[in-house]
Amino acid sequence: MVLPPLIFAAFGVMAYMGLGREGADELESKFEGKPAPAMTETALPGYDPITRAELAAGEVTIVNFWASWCPPCRAEHPRLLEMRDEGLRVLGVNFKDKEGQARRYLADDGNPFLAVAFDPAGRTAIDWGVTGPPETFILDGDGTVLFKFVGPLVGSDYEQRFVPRLEAALAAEAADGE
């Protein structure tokens, strides 16, 4: 009868050690350093489609997977609008949503996206390795994935991990243009 409590205690210790593991939230996307996957879905009706040319437009591009039903997506939405206003290329992939709700969300809250793919079944998300919104990718001008960020574009995690990677991508782009 001593064995079951010992096994339970061993699992508890392993779980506790795993929680403190540094860098667990910084796992690289399997696509980092590779061309961005193609968009397999059509455009959200009324919006431009995301084409291969949009993904490799010669400028740093941000691809954001979002949904109208997603509270963290709503929290990051003002930041996406700011990025658009700053002149950044922002593309959106609407994830497992209803068309009417997605369109209403963009009409009511503003559209930060140059183009919007509509992915009601989540097929494009699977191709990109997305597990749930919001997830955001930084692509270089050739359409190569530079970084994948899981979670909303707000708070200290965003400031400490996403912003430096975006700044580095923009600096590299500026250096290439000189």
Q: Is residue 83 part of a domain?
A: yes
Sheet containing 135-139: give its strands across.
Answer: 116-119, 89-95, 61-66, 135-139, 145-150
Whether 63 and 93 have beta carbons less than 8 Å apart is answered as: yes
DSSP code at position 144: B
Write out pLDDT tens, residues 58-105.
999 999 999 999 999 999 999 999 999 999 999 999 999 999 999 999
pTM of the model: 0.83
Per the structure, the count of domains in the chain is 1
Whether 101 and 168 have beta carbons less than 8 Å apart is answered as: no
Q: Is residue 18 part of a domain?
A: no
Q: Is residue 8 part of a domain?
A: no
Q: Is residue 1 part of a domain?
A: no
pLDDT at 28: 54
Contacts of 112 (CB under 8 A, 6+ apart): 64, 77, 80, 81, 83, 84, 90, 92
Write out pLDDT tens, residues 120-159.
999 999 999 999 999 999 999 999 999 999 999 999 999 9
22 pLDDT more than 90: no
Question: Domain containing 32: what range?
Answer: 28-177
Q: What is the mean pLDDT of the chain?
A: 87
pLDDT at 1: 60
Q: Is residue 19 part of a domain?
A: no
